[in-house]
Amino acid sequence: MKIFHIPCLEDNYSYLIVDESTKEAAAVDPVEPEKVLQVSNSLGLTLKFVLTTHHHWDHAGGNEKIKELVPGIKVYGGSIDNVKGCTNAVENGDKVHLGADINVLALHTPCHTNGHISYYVTGKENEVPAVFTGDTLFIAGCGKFFEGTAEQMYQSLSVTLSSLPKPTLVYCGHEYTAKNLLFALTVEPDNLRIQQKLTWAQNQRQAGQPTIPSTIEEELETNPFMRADLPAIQAKVGRSSPVEALGELRKWKDNWRG
């Protein structure tokens, strides 16, 4: 299994997931389909289907065009998310197969949108799995609660995604990492892992390189929204439960001008 980043728009990422033995590929959120196809063609791949994380235009806005460019391509999206161009609706627990070795598991991760889907991807036995989290989980952050509640985001982050194997690679929808880590430092100024990762992320960006992927383990160490269970963070935001703390952190972030 190979994964290729494709920067799109101002700060979005689309991705190609490739089964190396068959050269079959899936595109995640191909908002600029011509760009995605150019990369796919240059690598000699056959694009089989699209995985859409949610209905927002900067993720699903290329679906209709890619269907024109690749006749017969399947477009997967959440069953209750009204994804543009969707041909195959998926629900939590649904599975899709790519090539000889790749399995894709749909995980319902609502809040940013009601039907948001993250895609957990596994390859051969010895390969590290990956999860494509759209705008639910960012590196050191989470998406705005446009359609859902703190309870839903807590379930999505701290139950569904946190239960994945710790080495799982996290590929999210936007390049927000450095700013998110600056905010994380305001919540946990003494967290050495956040300090180290911020320095690394700033260096990556200065070199024109992505800060993605992260891992589930790194997120549990550095992402305040996945650390709302900690008494120290609850005390910091003046809340007594993980769900309330998560909701308060989101309010802080919404009003933060870093």
Q: Is 58 a catalytic residue?
A: yes
CA–CA separation, 153 vs 175, rounded Å? 20
Active-site residue identified among 55, 59, 108, 116:
59
Active-site residue identified among 19, 54, 81, 116:
54
Q: What is the DSSP letter of 128?
A: P
Active-site residue identified among 19, 58, 81, 116:
58
Q: Is 97 a catalytic residue?
A: no
Residues 6+ apart with CB under 8 A from 94: 105, 106
Q: Is 55 a catalytic residue?
A: no
CA–CA separation, 78 vs 118, rounded Å? 9
Name residue 23's amino acid: K
Q: Is 56 a catalytic residue?
A: yes
Write out the two tokens for 6: 């494709």
Active-site residue identified among 29, 55, 56, 116:
56
Active-site residue identified among 19, 29, 81, 135:
135
Q: Is 5 a catalytic residue?
A: no
**Cα 233 → chain centroid:** 24
Active-site residue identified among 55, 108, 112, 116:
112
Q: Is 94 a catalytic residue?
A: no
Q: Is 135 a catalytic residue?
A: yes
CA–CA separation, 108 vs 31, rounded Å? 21
Catalytic residue list: 54, 56, 58-59, 112, 135, 174
